[in-house]
Amino acid sequence: MPNLVGKSVKAARGALDSGTSVTTTDAAQDRMVLLESNWQVCTQSPAPGTTLNGQPVDFTAVKYEENCP
């Protein structure tokens, strides 16, 4: 698993295999992440350096003009 923190959600999703299940949650409020290129990854699970073996990936993200909590 690469370190995707700070990248756009769209770029982070693109860095993973197309079959990887990705869930993105708003880290600041309870909003839906619709336009992934406008959101940056704050946290990721599994952690960077972890081998991906088909498990789902979870991101938290905020809009680019916001700070990660």
Round to whole Å and give the CA distance between 52 and 16: 9
**pTM confidence score:** 0.94
Number of domains in the chain: 1
pLDDT number for residue 48: 97
Cβ(25)–Cβ(59) below 8 Å: yes
Round to whole Å and give the CA distance between 38 and 51: 28
pLDDT one-digit tens code per residue, 27-61: 999 999 999 999 999 999 999 999 999 999 999 99
Round to whole Å and give the CA distance between 32 and 55: 22
Judge whether 51 lies within some domain. Answer: yes
pLDDT number for residue 67: 97
Judge whether 38 lies within some domain. Answer: yes
Domain that holds residue 14: 9-63
Judge whether 4 lies within some domain. Answer: no
Judge whether 32 lies within some domain. Answer: yes
DSSP string, 18-31: TT--EEEEESSSS-
Dihedral pair phi/psi, residue 8, rounded to 5°: -70, 155
pLDDT number for residue 22: 97
Judge whether 57 lies within some domain. Answer: yes
Judge whether 34 lies within some domain. Answer: yes
